Amino acid sequence: MTRKRLRSTPVPGTRDKYTGIDFNLGFHIRSYELDLAYRVSPNHLSGTATLQLDNYLPLASMTLDLADNLRVQKVNATGTAGTSIKVSRFRQSVGKLRISFAEEIPVDQEFTLQIRYAGNPQPLRTAWGEIGWEELDNGALVASQPCGAPSWFPCDDTPDEKAYYDFRISADNPYTVITNGEFLGRRAAGSRTTWHYRTEHPLASYLATIQVGEYETLMLSTPDSQVPIHAYVPPSRRQGFLADFREQAQMMEVFTHLFGPYPFTRYSVVVTEDVLEIPLEAQGLSIFGSNHASGKGEWNRLIAHELAHQWFGNSLGVAQWNDIWLNEGMACYAEWLWDEQAHGIPAEQSARRHYRGLLLKPRTVLLADPGTDLMFDDRVYKRGAITIHAIRCLLGDEGFFRMLRRYVAASRHAVVEAVDLRSEVLHVCRELNIPTQEFEDLWHSWLNEKSLPRFPQHRD
């Protein structure tokens, strides 16, 4: 069973109420080819983005998201079978690339845009601080959730518009470039090397990334592991990393058993030379700071959390940001499942401890729609996780994990809304003869009220 959703617009309206950014309406981008050159010392990025599109509205003009400091030098358009589409004008303002065509493109056409641009990439200032491209002391990283992708390439930066990506990125030697997808090879030319990656599954723009640094490559999986796990680590952090991430392969086995098959062909962990306050997620990889490889064994919770996002957030993407709890609540609950499976600490014990923490905090978060200021608040994470635990208490372990695997399989590599999880829970309720009103009451009290419900109890 596969549920694929494709929208005419991401959500009703013309503006994302969380990011405050206008939607790019009238078309879908099916794939991106990014042929880029990065010079580390001056932090300079240049190259060409080739976008394959189709339009569900006639287009006399269109917009894409792109930071103003990355200046577009040329835009070409080509129609089906190589027919010419004349670009009459393009301009940049307020984070948008605005393209006008000499003649309107009729509805339901396939066409290509080729955009040449260059500049010094930098983070975008947002309600959540600076996000996107970040220059490091010795390299660069990209972490774009929720709207930082335009800091390095022209895109339709909304979470439910997934596309395929082909990356060719050159950088100075001896730097390594890591990005999403399968590594297809590298080609050295003089003092630079070009790295080639391609995604096998659709990718939301905020989960596209580039990591540039001087890394040693390690393998955390064994030759007979179902999922290869690669690590890219500064040589000075090798020993600390191996100590801190020694259970990474076991986590993969546990989560694959609980959630269903790992959704991608490999998993990568990148450790930067810089300190990072929190780890960062991308599709198929996670990014940690040097402080997360100290060798003290302090970060298993976060290591499990980031791995769980490969199912919840990356394969199952949210259709809109008000449902962020589907990503973060499930990844948080996965931390507790890991402790339960590996260390014998019941998830109920973890849930109860964090429930007591919520009792001490203001009841101002509406889980179903937390708003811009609170979407990354820890209360969303913990209340979301306890909501998942409440569903487990209702269904029982056998029913809960069967439901979870159905939910993961139904929307693999697509997007979800809260209604999708709700429908899977109701399906299992009917199978187990659990009155649906019990679930409806649970769902409403945890998602649609700010007051804190009673701690969930197992059904008799």
Amino acid 199 reads T
Mean pLDDT of 266-270: 98
Peptide bond into 174 cis (omega under 30): yes
Tell which residue, 333, 314, 301, has the closest CA to residue 268: 314
What is the 3 state secondary structure string of 316-378?
A: EEECCHHHHHHHHHHHHHHHHHHHHHHHCCCHHHHHHHHHHHHHCCCCCCCCCCCCHHHCCCH
What's the distance, CA 222 to chain centroid?
27
- DSSP code, position 206: G
Give the per-residue pLDDT at 6.
Answer: 44
Complete DSSP assignment for 44-81: EEEEEEEEEEEESS-EEEEEEE--TTSEEEEEEEEEGG
CATH of domain 317-447: 1.10.390.10
Question: Which band of pLDDT confidence, cut at 50, 70 and 90, is reported for residue 4?
Answer: very low
309 annotated to bind ligand: yes
Complete DSSP assignment for 140-189: EEEE-TTT-GGGTS-B---TT--BEEEEEEEEETT-EEEESSEEEEEEEE
44 annotated to bind ligand: no
Helix 418-431 vs helix 378-410: angle between axes, to the nearest 10 degrees? 60
Return the half-sphere exposure (C-beta side, CA atoms, 13 A cut-off) of residue 387.
32
Mean pLDDT of 256-265: 98
CATH of domain 215-310: 1.10.390.10
d(CA 296, CA 319): 38
d(CA 206, CA 43): 21
Residue 82 scores a pLDDT above 90: no
The conformational region for residue 119 under phi > 0 = left, psi -120 to 50 = alpha, else beta, is left
Residue 12 scores a pLDDT above 70: no
Mean pLDDT of 68-80: 96
Give the per-residue pLDDT at 444.
Answer: 98
Complete DSSP assignment for 252-296: HHHHHHHH-S-SSS-EEEEE-SS--SS-EEETTEEEE-GGGGSSS
d(CA 163, CA 202): 5
d(CA 449, CA 453): 9
Tell which residue, 73, 74, 68, has the closest CA to residue 87: 74
Segment 277-295, tens digit of pLDDT: 999 999 999 999 999 999 9
* The two structure tokens encoding residue 260: 């269903």
Segment 308-360, tens digit of pLDDT: 999 999 999 999 999 999 999 999 999 999 999 999 999 999 999 999 999 99
User: Which CATH superfamily groups domain 11-208?
Assistant: tricorn interacting facor f3 domain (2.60.40.1730)
Would you call 438 helix, strand, or coil by DSSP?
Answer: helix
Residue 166 scores a pLDDT above 50: yes
Length of the chain: 460
Residue 34 scores a pLDDT above 60: yes
Residue 417 scores a pLDDT above 50: yes
389 annotated to bind ligand: no
Residue 163 scores a pLDDT above 60: yes
The phi, psi pair for 435, rounded to 5°, reads: -55, 125
Q: What is the mean pLDDT of the chain?
A: 95
The percent of residues above 70 in pLDDT, for the chain, comes to 97
Mean pLDDT of 404-410: 98
Segment 418-440, tens digit of pLDDT: 999 999 999 999 999 999 999 99
Domain boundaries for CATH 1.10.390.10 within the chain = 215-310, 317-447
Helix (H) or strand (E) holding 34: strand 27-39
Tell which residue, 70, 142, 55, has the closest CA to residue 101: 55
Domain boundaries for CATH 2.60.40.1730 within the chain = 11-208
The percent of residues above 90 in pLDDT, for the chain, comes to 95
d(CA 380, CA 321): 12
* The two structure tokens encoding residue 133: 């491209």
Helix (H) or strand (E) holding 42: none
Complete DSSP assignment for 367-422: TT---GGGTT-HHHHHHHHHHHHHHHHHHHHHHHHHHHHHHHHHTTTEEE-HHHHH
Mean pLDDT of 189-207: 98
Question: Which band of pLDDT confidence, cut at 50, 70 and 90, is reported for residue 7?
Answer: very low
Question: Which residues have a catalytic role annotated?
Answer: 306, 381
d(CA 285, CA 273): 17
* The two structure tokens encoding residue 127: 């309600």
